[in-house]
Chain A
Amino acid sequence: MAHLLRMAGAEVELLRQGDHLPADATPVLVARSTVAGLDVVGDLLARWHPEVPDPWLVVVSDVPAPPPPAVRYRLRALGPQVERTVTVPYLWPLRAAASVDEVGERRAVRRAARGLATALAGPAR
């Protein structure tokens, strides 16, 4: 996802839990579109420091199909706690690639990066 965000023109820094967020940086949480993935996000948001800006949530589709009701429910429930939710479609080419760079020129990947860039540049909540 960091590669995709870089392709989208963003400067990306990966942080671990407890690391300080650089000034003027926008926190982005990345999760799989599964109940387990979104529960981890919910757990993080429950412990989110009040002085850190609300994060963006990037949800990566784990299958090329619409999310099940349980995932849709969680996305709705987490919505008010995040700045905005962006969904990245399932990318077939990534299955055979060691990194995004290898398939960066594929149409689907370029389209996903472009969609991510547009969403991140768009208006916040």
Chain B
Amino acid sequence: MTVPYAVERRRSHRPDGSVAADDGSVAPAVRAGFVAAALIGSLGILVSATLGLTLAVMGLLLLALVLVDRDGAPLLHHVLVAIGHARSRVRGDGSSGETGIRPWPHVATLPAALAGTELLDADCPVHGRCGVVWHRPTGLMSATLLLEPSALVLSDPAVGETYTACWWTLLADAASRADVTAAAVTVDVAPAAGSPPAVRFTVTVDPCARERIRCVTDAAALTVGALAAIDTEAAGVVACRPATATDLATIARAAFEPGTRWMRPGEEPPAWGELSPRTEASGPRSYQHERYTSVSYAMHAPSGRRFDADAVPHLLAPGTHPRRVTLVRREGPRGTVCSVFVTVSVERTADFRAARAELESLLCTAQPRLEVCRNLQAEAFGVGLPAGWFAPHAVELNFGMTP
């Protein structure tokens, strides 16, 4: 039996009797290396002492690499692997455009509602891609989940109440995470009755809440992970998929120009914050964008109190103009704050008064009362965008690398 004999011979070389895959393959190389080093060294000494010394040092170094064992393999193997890895990195293997993040094109001057933000097209395990909004001044990031819509939410107040309760539960679950600074559910109510509303769930994440993050790619990865870690089904909400960068840019574009048609397949997606220059003006009681005028209202639940169950369903009743209702739960300086924001947009200035009256007629039944966001119209308009809730103050930047 040849093979067992060979194994026994190899075993005899190991004091502990163990067998390593490299025992048999390395030994001839060692012998050849030793003989070659001895021959070349002797030849070198005959020619020149300096050359001989150099060759001897090189030979000893090679022997050391072959003979010194680390983690069960000669040091030479580790060196070769390290060289191969370095070459692979230089060639760019494993860092192709299919992984990590890609910055999304955006306009030179962003509208006030999106000031300081940047859209990133991030890789998302399982789902493919996911859009991440990076707020450069604070380092916070947000990601959005598209939720399953239901037309009954708008038409049946009882269904609306059930859904609203689920959304508040989802917001509470999300806000209980240490890395989530704010969470919001936004419902886009179209004027036509019967069509299901678009519902989305946006979380604002502090990537540095648990560990120190040094690059924007890691921060985006943590944001994507935080969104995936929130269990929507436990809150009774059905999620469709994470919103891609294309989704976010399109939703934001549609908010600024509600009459815009949605992108056709194969068409170039809109840039982030795309808005015609000089078509934005924020007044004390209205916000003008493109040829549209919007007004936003907000109500805040006093500390320790909750909203009436029927407060939000009233606001979801379809009206004459497109409306955006946003439920927000965030951490404020004095504890958790729950807010509801409502924004209505009209195209013709003549319709503005009627639209406001229609909205205020809905608001008068809601408790606590909604109040117009005086002098904060652009900011209130931005709450309903899929961009997250960013603190108005700058925080310490833990990462500033351009992706």
Are the CB atoms of A80 and B228 closer together than 8 Å? Answer: yes
Q: Which of A42, A79, A80, A96 counts the most chain B CB atoms within 10 A?
A: A80
Q: Cα distance A76–B99 when bound, in Å?
A: 13
Residues of chain A within 8 A (CB-CB) of B224 are: 77
Q: Cα distance A69–B88 when bound, in Å?
A: 12
Contact among B22, B81, B126, B233 for A96, CB-based, below 8 A: B22
Are the CB atoms of A39 and B126 closer together than 8 Å? Answer: yes
Interface status of B185 (Cβ within 8 A of chain A): no
Residues of chain B within 8 A (CB-CB) of A77 are: 123-125, 221-222, 224-225, 228
Q: How many residues of B contact A (CB 8 A)?
A: 42
Contact among A45, A65, A108 for B72, CB-based, below 8 A: A108
Residues of chain A within 8 A (CB-CB) of B156 are: none
Residues of chain B within 8 A (CB-CB) of A73 are: 99-100, 123, 217-218, 221
B172 to chain A, nearest CB (A): 15
B65 to chain A, nearest CB (A): 15
Interface status of A87 (Cβ within 8 A of chain B): no
B323 to chain A, nearest CB (A): 33
B121 to chain A, nearest CB (A): 13
Q: Which residue of B lies closest to A39 (CB)?
A: B125
Q: Cα distance A72–B225 when bound, in Å?
A: 13
Q: Cα distance A89–B131 when bound, in Å?
A: 33
Interface status of B170 (Cβ within 8 A of chain A): no
Contact among B81, B95, B222 for A65, CB-based, below 8 A: B81
Are the CB atoms of B19 and A96 closer together than 8 Å? Answer: yes
Residues of chain A within 8 A (CB-CB) of B72 are: 91-93, 103, 106-109
Q: Cα distance A85–B84 when bound, in Å?
A: 27
Residues of chain A within 8 A (CB-CB) of B99 are: 35, 69-70, 73
Interface status of A24 (Cβ within 8 A of chain B): no
B261 to chain A, nearest CB (A): 33
B296 to chain A, nearest CB (A): 32
Contact among B18, B82, B84, B94 for A105, CB-based, below 8 A: B18
Residues of chain B within 8 A (CB-CB) of A35 are: 99
Contact among A45, A63, A64, A76 for B221, CB-based, below 8 A: A76
Contact among B73, B82, B95 for A69, CB-based, below 8 A: B95
Interface status of A50 (Cβ within 8 A of chain B): yes
Over the window 72-108 of chain A, the binary record of Cβ atoms lying under 8 Å from chain B Cβ atoms (1 yes, 0 no) is: 1110111111000000011111011100001101111
Knowing A69-B217, A106-B18, say if A92 contacts B228 (CB, 8 Å). no
Interface status of B394 (Cβ within 8 A of chain A): no
Residues of chain A within 8 A (CB-CB) of B125 are: 38-39, 42, 74, 77-78
Knowing A78-B125, A79-B225, A92-B73, say if A103 contacts B94 (CB, 8 Å). no
B81 to chain A, nearest CB (A): 5
Q: Cα distance A15–B228 when bound, in Å?
A: 24
Knowing A68-B95, A73-B123, A103-B18, say if A46 contacts B228 (CB, 8 Å). yes
A73 to chain B, nearest CB (A): 5
Q: Which of B16, B93, B94 counts the most chain A CB atoms within 10 A?
A: B94
Q: Which of B20, B77, B179, B233 counts the most chain A CB atoms within 10 A?
A: B20
Give A residues with C-beta under 8 Å from B. 35, 38-39, 42-43, 45-46, 50, 63-66, 68-74, 76-81, 89-93, 95-97, 102-103, 105-109
User: What are the 5 A-B residue pairs with the smallest beta carbon separation, nearest first?
Assistant: A96-B21, A68-B94, A42-B125, A76-B221, A70-B99
Q: Given A79-B221, A89-B71, 18 more contacts at CB 8 Å?
A: A45-B228, A50-B231, A50-B233, A64-B81, A68-B88, A68-B95, A69-B217, A73-B123, A74-B123, A74-B221, A77-B225, A92-B20, A92-B21, A93-B20, A93-B21, A102-B18, A102-B19, A107-B71
13 CB < 8 A contacts A-B: A46-B126, A46-B228, A63-B81, A65-B81, A65-B85, A71-B94, A76-B222, A77-B222, A80-B225, A80-B229, A81-B225, A89-B71, A91-B72
